[in-house]
Structure 1
Amino acid sequence: MKLVWTQIKNFRSIKDSGKIYFNPNLTILAGKNESGKSNILKALECFSLDKFNKDTDFPIDYIEEEYPEVIVHYQLEEDIVIDLCDTLKINKENAHKISGVTVTRTSEFLESIEVDIFKDTLEYVIDAVGEAIKVINRELKRTFKLDINSKSSYLLSDLIEKIDSYLLTIKEFFNEEQSNKLNSIIEEVVSHLEMLNGFSDYISDKKFKATIPNFIYFSSFEDIIPDSISSNEEITPIVNRFFKVVNQNPKLLFDESNPQRRRLLSDKISAGISGDFMDYYSQDSVSLKINLDGDDLNFFVYGTDTQKPFQPRQRSQGLQWFLSFYLTLQAEMKTGSVLLIDEPGLYLHASAQEDLLGMLNNLSDKSPIVISTHSHWLMDPNRLERIRLVLKVNDQTQVENKIHKGADAYTMKPIFSAIGLGLNNDISTFGERLILVEGYSDYYYLEAMRYYFQEILGIKIKKFKIYPCLGSAQIINVLTLLVDSETEYFILLDNDKAGRQTEKKLKAECGIDENKILFTPVKSKNTSVIEDMFSQKDFSEIILDSLDTNKFDKVLVSKKFNERMHNNEITILSDETVSNFKEILDVVATPKFSHREN
Structure 2
Amino acid sequence: MKLVWAQIKNFRSIKDSGKIYFNPNLTVLAGKNESGKSNILKALDCFSKNTFDRDSDYPIDYISEYPEVIVHFELEDNDLQNIKEFFTLNKNSSKKSNGVTITRTAESNEVINIEIFNDTLEYIVTETDKATAAINKELRTRYKTNIEAMTSASLVVIIREINSLLTAINNLDNEQINKISTILQDLDSYFDLLTKIHNFSVGAIFKETIPNFVYFSSFEDIIPDSISSNAEITPIVNRFFKVVNQDPSLLFGETSPQRRRLLTDRISKKVSGNFMGYYSQDSISLTINLDGNGINFFVYGLDNQKPFQPRQRSQGLQWFLSFYLTLEAEMKTGSILLIDEPGLYLHASAQEDLSIMLNDLSVNSPIVISTHSHWLMDPNRLERIRLVIKDNDSTYVENKIHKGADNNTMKPILSAIGLGLKNNISTFGKRVVLVEGYSDYYYLEAMRYYFNEILEIKLDNFKLYPCLGSAQIINVLTLIIDSETDYYILLDNDKAGQQTEKKLKNECGIDKSKILFTPAKSKIFSAIEGVFSEKDFKEIVLNSLETTKFDKVLVSKKFNERMHNKEITKLSDETVSNFKEILDVIGIPQVEQIESLSK
| TM-score (norm. length: structure 2) | 0.86
Residue 149 of structure 1 corresponds to none
- Map of 1:189-588 to 2, 5 A cutoff? 191-192=189-190, 194-199=192-197, 201-257=199-255, 261-523=259-521, 525=523, 528-588=526-586
- Map of 1:89-238 to 2, 5 A cutoff? 97-123=96-122, 191-192=189-190, 194-199=192-197, 201-238=199-236
CA distance in 2, matches of 1:270, 1:141: 77
- What is the CA distance between 1:218 and its match in structure 2? 2.1
Assess if the C-alpha contact under 8 Å between 1:274 and 1:287 holds in 2. yes
- What is the CA distance between 1:423 and its match in structure 2? 3.8
CA distance in 2, matches of 1:524, 1:290: 63
Deviations 1:82-121 (A, max 9, x none): 3321588757787974422212222222222222111123
CA distance in 2, matches of 1:460, 1:132: 61
Distance 1:563 1:180, change over 3 A: farther
The SS at the match of 1:594 is coil
Assess if the C-alpha contact under 8 Å between 1:391 and 1:399 holds in 2. yes
Residue 61 of structure 2 corresponds to 61
Residue 23 of structure 2 corresponds to 23
CA distance in 2, matches of 1:338, 1:85: 26
- What is the CA distance between 1:131 and its match in structure 2? 11
Assess if the C-alpha contact under 8 Å between 1:6 and 1:71 holds in 2. yes
- What is the CA distance between 1:326 and its match in structure 2? 0.9
Assess if the C-alpha contact under 8 Å between 2:11 and 2:43 holds in 1. yes
> Is 1:10 the counterpart of 2:7 in the alignment?
no
Amino acid corresponding to residue 45 of structure 1 in structure 2: D
Amino acid corresponding to residue 76 of structure 2 in structure 1: E
Residue 75 of structure 1 corresponds to 74
The SS at the match of 2:214 is strand
- What is the CA distance between 1:194 and its match in structure 2? 3.7
Distance 1:196 1:316, change over 3 A: farther
Q: RMSD between aligned alpha carbons?
A: 3.4
The SS at the match of 2:6 is strand
Amino acid corresponding to residue 109 of structure 1 in structure 2: S
- What is the CA distance between 1:508 and its match in structure 2? 1.7
**Structure 1 residues 408-417 or 304-313, which shifts more?**
304-313
Assess if the C-alpha contact under 8 Å between 1:32 and 1:411 holds in 2. yes
- What is the CA distance between 1:168 and its match in structure 2? 8.4
Amino acid corresponding to residue 352 of structure 1 in structure 2: A
Distance 1:54 1:253, change over 3 A: farther
Amino acid corresponding to residue 108 of structure 1 in structure 2: E
CA distance in 1, matches of 2:88, 2:522: 52
- What is the CA distance between 1:258 and its match in structure 2? 5.2
- What is the CA distance between 1:354 and its match in structure 2? 1.6
- What is the CA distance between 1:464 and its match in structure 2? 0.9
**Structure 1 residues 457-466 or 291-300, which shifts more?**
291-300
- What is the CA distance between 1:479 and its match in structure 2? 1.0
Deviations 1:157-211 (A, max 9, x none): xxxxxx9xx6789899999669999999998777545434424554435443222
The SS at the match of 2:390 is strand
The SS at the match of 1:480 is helix
**Structure 1 residues 1-10 or 439-448, which shifts more?**
1-10
Amino acid corresponding to residue 69 of structure 1 in structure 2: E
CA distance in 1, matches of 2:91, 2:334: 27
Amino acid corresponding to residue 54 of structure 1 in structure 2: R
Deviations 1:348-389 (A, max 9, x none): 221222211221222111111111111111111111111111
CA distance in 1, matches of 2:252, 2:406: 55
Deviations 1:12-31 (A, max 9, x none): 21111111111111111111
Assess if the C-alpha contact under 8 Å between 1:425 and 1:481 holds in 2. no
Assess if the C-alpha contact under 8 Å between 1:421 and 1:430 holds in 2. yes
Deviations 1:250-293 (A, max 9, x none): 33333445555444433332222112111211111111122344
Equivalent pairs: percent with the same residue?
A: 70
The SS at the match of 1:563 is helix
CA distance in 1, matches of 2:333, 2:546: 35
In structure 2, runs of 5+ residues without a counterpart are: 137-145, 170-179
Deviations 1:233-259 (A, max 9, x none): 433322221111111223333344555
Assess if the C-alpha contact under 8 Å between 2:51 and 2:106 holds in 1. yes
Assess if the C-alpha contact under 8 Å between 1:203 and 1:209 holds in 2. no
CA distance in 2, matches of 1:68, 1:76: 26
Deviations 1:388-420 (A, max 9, x none): 111111111110110111111111111111111
Assess if the C-alpha contact under 8 Å between 2:82 and 2:205 holds in 1. no
CA distance in 2, matches of 1:167, 1:548: 33
Residue 141 of structure 2 corresponds to none
The SS at the match of 1:550 is coil
Distance 1:40 1:466, change over 3 A: same
Assess if the C-alpha contact under 8 Å between 1:586 and 1:593 holds in 2. no
User: What is the number of equivalent residue pairs in this alignment?
Assistant: 575
Amino acid corresponding to residue 121 of structure 1 in structure 2: T
Assess if the C-alpha contact under 8 Å between 1:30 and 1:390 holds in 2. yes
Assess if the C-alpha contact under 8 Å between 1:81 and 1:95 holds in 2. no
The SS at the match of 1:362 is helix
Residue 160 of structure 1 corresponds to none
CA distance in 2, matches of 1:474, 1:3: 37
Amino acid corresponding to residue 113 of structure 1 in structure 2: I
Distance 1:590 1:129, change over 3 A: closer
Deviations 1:203-223 (A, max 9, x none): 435443222121112223433
CA distance in 2, matches of 1:331, 1:104: 28
CA distance in 2, matches of 1:35, 1:179: 71
Assess if the C-alpha contact under 8 Å between 2:86 and 2:193 holds in 1. no
Amino acid corresponding to residue 358 of structure 2 in structure 1: L
Assess if the C-alpha contact under 8 Å between 1:220 and 1:345 holds in 2. no
- What is the CA distance between 1:79 and its match in structure 2? 2.8
CA distance in 2, matches of 1:541, 1:323: 46
**Structure 1 residues 331-340 or 397-406, which shifts more?**
331-340
Residue 592 of structure 2 corresponds to 594
The SS at the match of 2:479 is coil
Assess if the C-alpha contact under 8 Å between 2:432 and 2:462 holds in 1. yes
In structure 1, runs of 5+ residues without a counterpart are: 147-162
Amino acid corresponding to residue 117 of structure 1 in structure 2: I
CA distance in 2, matches of 1:581, 1:141: 62
Distance 1:124 1:590, change over 3 A: closer
CA distance in 2, matches of 1:62, 1:259: 64
The SS at the match of 1:111 is strand
Assess if the C-alpha contact under 8 Å between 2:458 and 2:589 holds in 1. no
Amino acid corresponding to residue 375 of structure 1 in structure 2: S
CA distance in 2, matches of 1:501, 1:89: 57
Assess if the C-alpha contact under 8 Å between 1:88 and 1:199 holds in 2. no
| TM-score (norm. length: structure 1) | 0.87
Distance 1:191 1:480, change over 3 A: same
- What is the CA distance between 1:544 and its match in structure 2? 0.3
